[in-house]
Structures are given as structure tokens and as C-alpha cells.
């Protein structure tokens, strides 16, 4: 066999193995968007130690710092996937610009409200705060429309990746949209927490600030959003590492998706029942029952 034919066979074989580990280039729009998030995060990390204000019991810059990290992971994931999506260049540009506008608008609102020393989501304290909150609530479903389009493309097998990875992308978007729906539940009830007398300002876990005195919908929301990274990577790993039939590989992807979905459902139901993810506070004594017992004994005497 000649060198040219051998090289051609190797090139063809490599092309068939195209998967998420072989990126050719990155989407410039989404890459700039991710850069904006990381630059903002760095700036806020420098400001945070010098700001002694508290919003809902925590430093006001913690929330936008967490959001910049999450948004950066999201847009980089979408940029990664778009390189393998077999649609027109214009279609990719529409998705890229649409997602970028949605997430930049959201982080701008969250950062602005942090600088003002107030909350961003569910804030109806003034006409301006109400406008900011409603604006962010509109950006979320708009972003979800682009996620739905990417899900449809996955269901149509339009990503130039292996079948297990394709399934991982599809399941990742399904669960991502489910997590967005949990965000809608928070918007409807106007709070993250459930069964907390003090509202969203109650005690929470360090850094994360997830409630430790009642239910909190944010853990389920968080895990669901990051299923978009977990499941495509799981699909890729299964395709690369599992030496078995395609049916077994696809079953592995389904199993991974079921495990993630079950965990999210458990976290959601736990939160809706008013139970915290982690209870760090000691239970307060029930003084009413103690008083009742004392009075009962007094009557007997």
C-alpha cells in the first residue's frame, strides 16, 4: 500500500472519529461573552474584600461572582457544541448573538443591583427594581428558546459527533430546560426558599448561601443547569472508554441521564417540602410544648 493511500485511510478513519475532543476553532461571539464574564468575576473578586455591606445577609458581590462563573461555563459549552452543529453559518450566528445578548443583559442587571446594594431577582421594592427584575425574568425564557432549538438539532442528529455524545447533548438540554422551569417556579413564588419565615434573607451555606433553615430550590436549579456539561461529557467518555456494542453505550448514557434527573427531582421535592439541603443549625427547643407541660403539672398540683 502506498504512503498516499495509507495517509488517506488514516485521515478518513480520523474523520469518522470526530467528537467533542477535537475542536477546530471557537465561536468568537460566545468566546468574547465568556471573556466578559471572567473579567467581571476578577474585578468583583478584587472589590469584594473592601465592601462591608450585606444584602440578604451576605456580601452583595457573591451572587454576581457565582453567576459569572455559571454563565461562562454555559456559553463556552454552547460555543463548543456549535462547532459540531451542521447548520448554516447564519443560523449559528443567530444562536450565538441571541444567547450572548440574553446572558450579558442578565449579568449587567445583577452587577448593577449588587453595586447599588440591593437584590436583583424578585425585587419589587421600587419601580426601578421591579423593572430590572421583570427584565431578567424575560431574558430567561428567551434564552430557553435558543436552548430548545439546540435540543431539536440534537434530536435530529445534526451534531457531527458519536451517537452516545449526541444522546448526551440531547439529554443535557432536556434537563437544562427542566432546570429553567424550576427557575420559573422561583419567579412565580417570588423567592428561592420554601417554608422560611425570614424569606431569602435567612441563614445559608457559606459562599453558596443555600438555605439551611428551610427548603431552597437553587440546588436543583444549579445541578440541572450544569447537566448541560455533565451529560455530553458522560456520553463522550462512554463512547471512548466502554468497549461494547452501541446498544450498551446508549444504555449507559440513558442511565447517566436518569441518575442526574432523579437527583434533581429529589432535590426539588425536598425543597418544596421545606427541608434544607444541609441543616447546620441546631434545632431550637420547642418552648410552647415545655410551657404546656409546665402548666399541666401546675393544674395537677
**Between 27 and 143, where is the model more confident?**
143
- 266-275: string of b/e by CB count within 10 Å (b at 16+)? ebbebbbeee
Collapsing DSSP states into helix, strand and coil, what is residue 85?
A: strand
Lowest pLDDT segment from 95-104, 127-136, 195-204? 195-204
The pLDDT, as a whole number, for residue 297 is 45
pTM (two decimals): 0.83
DSSP state of 70: H
**Between 7 and 36, where is the model more confident?**
36
* Cell (9 digits) for 237: 467518555
Q: What is the mean pLDDT of residues 185-206?
A: 80
Segment 210-232, tens digit of pLDDT: 888 888 999 999 999 999 999 99
Segment 43-92, tens digit of pLDDT: 999 999 999 999 988 999 999 999 999 999 999 999 999 999 999 999 99
- Any idea how long the chain is? 301
- Percentage of the chain beyond pLDDT 70 is 82
* Average pLDDT in the chain: 85
**Between 72 and 296, where is the model more confident?**
72
Segment 122-163, tens digit of pLDDT: 889 999 999 999 999 999 999 999 999 999 999 999 999 999
Please give the Cα distance from 178 to 264 (Å, whole number): 9
Segment 175-192, tens digit of pLDDT: 999 999 999 999 888 888
26 pLDDT tier (thresholds 50, 70, 90): low
Q: Which residues contact 44 (CB under 8 A, 6 or more apart)?
A: 61, 64, 65, 68, 111, 114
* Cell (9 digits) for 174: 432536556
Please give the Cα distance from 10 to 2 (Å, whole number): 12
* Cell (9 digits) for 282: 441546631
The pLDDT, as a whole number, for residue 17 is 47
Please give the Cα distance from 47 to 62 (Å, whole number): 11
User: 31-36: long-range contacts at Cβ-Cβ below 8 A with a sequence spacing of 24 or more?
Assistant: 31/76, 31/79, 32/100, 33/71, 33/75, 33/99, 33/100, 33/103, 33/104, 34/71, 34/72, 34/75, 34/76, 34/79, 36/104, 36/107
199 pLDDT tier (thresholds 50, 70, 90): low
Q: Which residues pair with 159 in a beta bridge?
A: 85
* Cell (9 digits) for 116: 447599588
Question: Which CATH number fits the domain 24-160, given the four candidates 1.10.3290, 1.20.120, 1.10.3470, 1.10.260?
Answer: 1.20.120
Rounded to 5 degrees, φ, ψ at 213 are -120, 0
Q: Assess contact for 121 and 55: CB atoms under 8 A.
A: no
Does the pLDDT of residue 277 top 80, yes or no?
A: yes
Q: Which residues pair with 82 in a beta bridge?
A: none
* Cell (9 digits) for 201: 434573607
**Between 232 and 12, where is the model more confident?**
232
CATH 1.20.120 residue ranges for the chain = 24-160
The pLDDT, as a whole number, for residue 291 is 40
Amino acid at each position: 500500500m502506498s504512503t498516499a493511500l495509507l495517509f488517506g485511510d488514516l485521515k478518513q478513519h480520523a474523520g469518522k472519529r470526530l467528537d467533542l475532543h477535537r475542536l477546530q476553532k471557537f465561536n468568537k461571539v460566545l468566546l468574547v461573552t465568556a471573556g466578559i464574564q471572567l473579567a467581571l468575576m476578577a474585578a468583583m473578586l478584587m472589590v469584594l474584600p473592601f465592601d462591608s455591606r450585606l444584602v440578604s445577609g451576605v456580601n452583595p458581590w457573591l451572587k454576581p461572582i457565582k453567576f459569572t462563573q455559571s454563565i461562562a461555563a454555559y456559553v463556552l459549552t454552547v460555543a463548543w457544541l456549535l462547532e459540531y452543529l451542521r447548520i448554516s453559518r447564519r443560523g449559528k450566528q443567530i444562536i450565538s448573538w441571541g444567547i450572548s445578548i440574553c446572558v450579558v443583559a442578565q449579568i449587567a442587571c445583577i452587577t448593577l443591583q449588587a453595586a447599588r446594594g440591593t437584590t436583583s431577582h424578585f425585587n419589587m421594592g421600587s419601580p426601578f427594581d421591579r423593572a430590572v427584575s421583570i427584565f431578567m425574568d424575560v431574558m430567561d425564557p428567551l434564552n430557553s428558546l435558543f436552548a430548545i432549538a439546540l435540543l431539536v438539532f440534537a434530536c435530529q442528529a445534526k451534531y457531527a459527533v458519536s451517537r452516545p455524545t449526541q444522546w448526551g447533548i440531547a439529554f443535557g438540554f432536556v434537563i437544562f430546560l427542566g432546570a429553567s422551569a424550576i427557575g420559573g417556579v422561583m419567579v412565580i413564588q417570588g423567592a428561592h426558599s420554601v417554608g422560611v419565615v425570614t424569606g431569602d434573607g435567612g441563614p445559608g451555606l457559606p459562599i453558596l448561601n443555600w438555605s439551611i433553615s428551610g427548603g431552597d430550590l437553587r440546588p436543583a436549579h444549579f445541578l440541572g443547569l450544569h447537566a448541560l456539561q455533565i451529560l455530553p461529557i458522560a456520553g463522550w467518555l462512554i463512547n471512548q472508554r466502554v468497549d461494547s456494542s452501541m446498544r450498551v453505550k446508549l444504555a449507559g448514557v440513558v442511565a447517566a441521564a436518569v441518575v442526574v434527573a432523579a437527583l434533581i427531582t429529589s432535590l426539588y421535592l425536598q425543597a418544596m417540602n421545606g427541608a434544607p439541603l444541609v441543616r447546620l443549625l441546631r434545632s431550637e427547643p420547642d418552648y410552647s410544648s415545655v410551657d404546656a407541660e409546665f402548666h399541666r403539672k401546675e393544674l395537677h398540683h
